[in-house]
Structure 1
Amino acid sequence: MKPIRILTSVLDLLAEIDDYESLLFTRRWHEVGEFELRINRHKRHAELLRRGNLIMLGASRNKVGIIKHREITLDEGGKASETWLVKGIALKGIVAQRLVVPPAGDSHDRANGTAETIMKHYVNNHVVNPTDVKRKIDMLVLASDQQRGSQISWESRFKNLAEELVEISKASGLGWDVILDFQQKKWIFDVYEGRNLTVNQTENPPVIFSPQFESLKQLSFVESDYNYKNYGYIAGQGEGEDRRVVEIGDAEGLSRIETFIDARDISEEDENQQALPEAEIIAKLQQRGQQKLAKFAQEFFLEGQILTNSPFEYEKDYNLGDIVTIQNREWGVTRDARITEIKEIYEPGGFQIEATFGESRPTLIKKLKQELAQISGEVRK
């Protein structure tokens, strides 16, 4: 079984275990991953799996979780059934403990620049070097800004920091993570770019996941227009007929599917409380519209179990965040998609990898959050 190191939050090693029932460790490119560990409570060092401690898979400094929950049951099986279920989140999820609080004298925390610069701006302002020192998490530091990603403009007001990073990540294609630095005894926040490993590029050796290439054991494919919208009415500030509304999209006739996007939280003033030019306000509303319409795109869900003895080696030939080609000739399906989620499954019977290519299927909670996001602007105003 894969060794698991148990650490304190300040990176002191408590123990290492390799005798447990199972481990499911989920890594995510845009969002926050999680883990589930099952271990008999009588096994060595099980008592150290306490809330607040960290687990690290082997020596992988980028596969770290913080324990948030544990539970146990006892039935007529007695001692043999006394198994702890230990759950937690990927370490990068600690940024979800903060909101984006606007600076004094301004309605929003605003940033302009590359996607990486903006992500690190918000982490710096609200975790690493916040104005209120009580909000600071001493263990977290920023990696240097390499200014990767597209140029964007962003503003936020009392939104969850992790959710904002997810939005910027999806808009730019960049990933983000928190890894360990044992030399500094710190947690390092950084941003990452995936590789293009698709079949039609020549810079890198291509990676094709296909049953025909004996690289996939299972594959599920879904395409759907149920949630599809392609034309938006984006409403900014104002009331009734005086409310500012801009439109985005070019679909017509039967192919046009309209939606309303509430963007009342977008300010029409700058940080000095001066009115912004109308063209700039419209551009901000259009950018918000593009971001929201992207969530209503035609849905393609690809999930598969990757053969561990496939021609491609995990973390060498491909990794989380890389763009690969997925193909099933019998279905007539060939798509290029980013690996956005990888589940590493460790059991006595062996090691398995399950991957999500592109967007993951929305859960009920995600759908509810999407609906609530439409009304949240008024709440935060």
Structure 2
Amino acid sequence: MQIEVYKIETVDNSLTITLEAICDTFSSLLWDIEYYKCGSFEVYIAANPQNVEIFQTGRIVGRDDDSQYFGIIESVLINTDVEKGDYLTVKGRFLMCLLERRIIYPTYNVTAAKAYSEIMREVVMQNTMLNDGRKIPGLSLGTVTGDCWQQTTTLQISYANLMEWVYTICEKIGGTANIRLVKDTGEQYRMVFELSEGADRSIMQEDNPHIIFSDAYSNLLSFSYAEDSSVQKNFAYIFGQGKGDERKRTTYCEGAEPTYLDRYELYVDADDISETEQVEGETVPIPTEKYIELLKTRGSERLVLPKTASESDIAAHNTQYVYNRDYFVGDYVTVQHQRFGMMQPQIQLIGMIEGFDQNGRSLTPTFKEA
């Protein structure tokens, strides 16, 4: 496996991305892929004039065996030591972090049901591709895969951080977003924004081969599980615009209304959701029933499920299931700890830290209950 470093050059609204260097000698690499948030990477490499010249902030880092994830260097630290030698610590996040540089402006409003894929692409385009001063050069819209993105909704959003809002929607519907490099013409590359969904490979379905991590199969090296119900919020009171008793309001919950000790209430201030919209250049009021639906959508985005997390070490060189061939981040799998009689028949792989150092390759996944 080799590290690739790409140089970025911007001239006005155009961006040129070219492969600058290939590095196959490094002390360690951490490649942290996340499904519901922006992933990150860290390279630990000998500090010499050549590497200092190559690993500069603002450049893109990739791997020759990974065509999906590319990071942008955000920090470089040089440490010198007479005994241990001189080293660079290069850190950054994957290209989705570029969206963190924008907020959603002006207000984006949908009062007629529209697919989440259309909403997501329109919001990203509006804030990164249309206005010259706000453009992220070289970024274009890519593919959409996964049924979750065909769900429809109504919503109104403004002033939120673009990257954070994207991941909020992803976690709500079960999809993910990514920006990757695609070879364009000659030796140049461009960035594409894509939406996708993980596959179900658990024992709860029969369409795909089952992926089971178990101490009985010797592919589950360690296992931990934690649950925290104190953070959950499952019933929202949402208040929109207006004064006092005239303020528009509604409630929202998933499924049957929780009661008694099962009820965890949440107040949502949605005063930023306007009661008017622009239609063919004119400002017109939003009908009350449509405005209430906008409030419910905001409330649904603020609910918090009980926090569950399961972290494990799995066999990196297991030939039964090969990471990024047989299963991927975002997929649903089955985790079993036979010795303690624990079974998680359908659990989502939401993160994977892939490590490379002098001891070889390691895989540290993070799971979340479906």
- TM-score normalised by the chain length of structure 1: 0.86
User: Which amino acid is 2:293 matched to?
Assistant: A
The runs of at least 4 consecutive aligned structure 1 residues that moved more than 4 Å come to: 144-147
Runs of 5+ consecutive residues of structure 2 not aligned to the other structure: 9-15
CA distance 1:59–1:257, shift in 2 (3 Å): closer
In structure 1, the residue corresponding to 2:122 is in which secondary structure? helix
1:306–1:145 Cα change, 3 Å: closer
Q: Pick one of 338, 352, 355 that aligns with 2:362.
A: 352
**Conserved? CA contact 2:228–2:308, under 8 Å:** yes
Given that 1:75 and 1:81 are in contact with CA atoms closer than 8 Å, whether structure 2 keeps it comes out as: yes
1:32 shift after superposition: 0.8
Of 241-250 and 314-323, more deviation after overlay is shown by: 241-250
- Structure 2 distance, partners of 1:216, 1:292, is 35
The answer on whether the counterparts of 1:235 and 1:246 sit within 8 Å (CA) in structure 2 is yes
Of 327, 336, 341, which aligns to 2:351? 341
Report if aligned partners of 2:202, 2:345 keep a CA contact under 8 Å in 1: no
Identity of aligned residues (%): 26
- 1:27 is aligned to 33
Q: Aligned partner of 1:135: which letter?
A: R
The count of residues paired between Structure 1 and Structure 2 equals 347
- Aligned residue among 311, 329, 334 for 1:325: 334
1:12-52 Cα shifts (integer Å, max 9, x gaps) = 22211111111111111221111111111028544310011
Residue 85 of structure 1 pairs with residue 97 of structure 2: no
Unaligned runs of 5+ in 1: 103-107, 360-381
What does the per-residue CA deviation read over 1:265-318, in whole Å, with 9 as the maximum and x for residues that have no partner? 22222224322221112222122222211xx21221111122113321111110
Q: Write the deviation string for residues 327-374 of structure 1: whole angstroms up to 9, x where unpaired.
A: 223153424122211111111110111111127xxxxxxxxxxxxxxx
TM-score by length of 2: 0.88
What is the DSSP-based 3-state SS (H/G/I as helix, E as strand, rest coil) of the residue aligned with 1:164?
helix
| 2:181 alignment counterpart | 180
Q: Take 2:290 and 2:128, find their aligned partners in 1: how far apart are those partners?
A: 30
Aligned equivalents of 1:315 and 1:256: distance in 2? Answer: 40
- In 1, the alpha carbon distance for the partners of 2:144 and 2:351 equals 25
How much is the aligned-residue C-alpha RMSD, in angstroms? 2.0
CA shift in 2, pair 1:70/1:40, >3 Å? same
Contact 1:96 1:160 in 2 (8 A): yes
| Alpha-carbon distance in 1 for matches of 2:273, 2:218 | 50
Distance 1:140 1:72 in 2: 31
Q: Is the 8 A contact 1:15 1:45 kept in 2?
A: no
Provide the residue aligned with 1:362 in structure 2: none
Q: Counterparts of 1:1-381 in structure 2 under 5 Å?
A: 2-9=1-8, 10-42=16-48, 45-77=51-83, 80-102=84-106, 108-111=107-110, 113-128=114-129, 130=130, 132-144=131-143, 148-184=149-185, 185-249=189-253, 250-272=257-279, 273-293=283-303, 296-310=304-318, 311-329=320-338, 330-358=340-368
Structure with higher strand content: 2
Aligned-pair CA distance for 1:163: 0.9
CA distance 1:87–1:136, shift in 2 (3 Å): same
